Chains A and B, each alone.
Chain A
Amino acid sequence: MNLVIVVVVVAVIALIVGGVYNQLVRRRNEVDNAWSQIDVQLKRRLDLIPNLVETVKGYAAHEKTALEAVISARNSAMSTGASPHEQAAADNAVSSALRQLFALSEAYPDLKANQGFVSLQDELSNTESRIAYARQFYGDAVETYNTAIQKFPAVFVASMFKFSEREFFAAEEAARSVPEVKF
């Protein structure tokens, strides 16, 4: 009789642990998926850059510094590490280099009238907002996951199977400051 009770209790505990474990795995996969979504968008942006550089060269080849800044920012972003912090830093460098290039392009009416350039500019600003959305989604997923592994009773299962907290994506200070506009 006692044996039966013990067996039943153990079985129930095993079932609960299993259920919680499965849920945590699902949430963790969601975080990974959200992270790869950001990567997809970032890659898309990096793929657009060579085309942009070529187009700008055709009209403003002597703007060497700005062009080189964009290329080098792109190259370092291609070979960056995987942590949210490193990725954010590399990505911010690309953003500011691009911003400078677009600011310079204002001085070249022919370039601004180029259909290819206009559509590239469109595409890039579009991708920019998608990156922001993807980061938001990642933030949501991390929040849900971190909350899930901190809650009772999941916290025991989490520590048993080494579910660790994930890092939020923090915007760099530079990205937050408003860019200066001079006339």
Chain B
Amino acid sequence: MNDLIAANKRRTFFLLFGFVVITLLVGVAVGSLIDNGTTGTLIALVIAAVMAFSSYWKSDKIALAVSRAHPADEQEYRRLHNLVEGLCIAGGLPKPKVYIIQDDAPNAFATGRNPKNAAIAVTTGLLHVMNRVELEGVVAHELSHIKNYDILVSTLAVTLVGTIAIVTDLTLRMMWWNGGRVARSGDRNDRNNPLALIGLVLLLLAPILAKVMQAAVSRRRETLADVSAVRMTRYPPGLISALEKLQADNTVTHSASMATAHLWIEQPMSGVKDTGRLGMWHKLFNTHPPLAERIALLREM
């Protein structure tokens, strides 16, 4: 277990590094497309640095705000608070902040940068649908994310993926405006600029690359969190029946966005029923292993 946690911390570093590199490349590409190379690269470097630092300190707040989560009232959600406290004792964790999301779809996520600065958020739908043991299973799953430092990696991914998406999007639009009508000085000579071409390809690929990284980072953690959740509750049937309920339910979690997709216990947007050729692509972009697979794994325990 401790080895896994150490590996997770290492992976966080690589993730940060990878995203910084991608941002840098994006910056170079932007530079070569709309301005001269060096300025773009410098700007990208600054953006990458600011982004890496700010996401370490602020990404949990961003994730919570984006999902429209508000703190769970101690009196109103007494049972939830009690349950979280109890499981925290079992896992040897400090109690995280508890948030509620007004959403009928049953779902939950955890965020933060370490166990001392963590938060878990559940939807009102989840509280409505699950009984006590099932809710315990779900909360234990989220607490496992906190204990294994998954929250840091995945929450960082939210802001990093988001930033890359915005920057590339912006650049592509700027090119669109410029393209076509008004010819600028130097345009004619640049027509065969190979650097610009590479830059364009890179810009198109960067968000996809970021998405694939996001998905890869997330899938293995889900399985691991399921296993450690059961270790915490000592009661596999609880989480199994919770996952089965999630499987049966196909409400779309409206509070989830593409950027936060991998945070939740269940994939918030169910993809198209994937068969055949699309299968591999879906596999590449899915942030969660199929629920059936996760249930089967827990049954074996």
Contacts and interface: CB of A to CB of B under 8 A. Distances in A.
A pairs with B:
yes
A34 B90 CA distance: 9
A91 to B, nearest CB: 16
Contacts of A137: 89-92
A37 to B, nearest CB: 6
A94 interface: no
A136 B86 CA distance: 11
A112 interface: no
A34 B91 CA distance: 10
A130 B86 contact: yes
A134 B88 CA distance: 9
Contacts of B234: 136
A108 interface: no
> At the interface, is chain A mostly helix, strand, loop or mixed?
helix
Interface string B67-88: 0000000000000001001110
B82 A41 contact: no
Contact of B86 (A33, A129, A140): A129
A102 interface: no
Contacts of A140: 92
A144 to B, nearest CB: 8
Interface in B88-112: 89-92
A141 B90 CA distance: 10
Contacts of B89: 37, 41, 130, 133-134, 137
Interface residues of A, number: 14
A140 B82 CA distance: 21
A126 B82 contact: yes
Interface in A121-164: 126, 129-130, 133-134, 136-137, 140-141
A133 B87 contact: yes
B92 A130 contact: no
A183 B92 CA distance: 41
Contacts of B82: 126
Nearest to B91: A137
Interface string A2-34: 000000000000000000000000000010011
A137 B85 CA distance: 13
A125 to B, nearest CB: 10
Contacts of A136: 90, 234
A136 B136 CA distance: 15
Nearest to B90: A133
A137 B88 CA distance: 9
A10 to B, nearest CB: 28
Contacts of A141: 92
Contacts of A41: 89
A37 B86 CA distance: 12
Contacts of B90: 133-134, 136-137
A128 to B, nearest CB: 10
B98 to A, nearest CB: 16
A28 to B, nearest CB: 15
A33 B92 CA distance: 9
B80 to A, nearest CB: 13
Interface in B150-187: none
Contacts of A134: 89-90
B131 to A, nearest CB: 15
A134 B90 CA distance: 5
Contacts of B87: 133
A34 B92 contact: yes
A96 B224 CA distance: 39
13 contacts: A37-B89, A41-B89, A129-B86, A130-B85, A133-B86, A133-B87, A133-B89, A136-B90, A136-B234, A137-B89, A137-B91, A137-B92, A141-B92
Given A37-B92, A134-B90, A137-B91, 10 more contacts: A33-B92, A34-B92, A41-B89, A126-B82, A129-B86, A130-B89, A133-B87, A133-B89, A140-B92, A141-B92
Interface of B: 82, 85-87, 89-92, 234
Closest 9 CB pairs of A and B: A133-B90, A133-B89, A133-B86, A136-B90, A134-B89, A137-B92, A137-B90, A130-B86, A129-B86
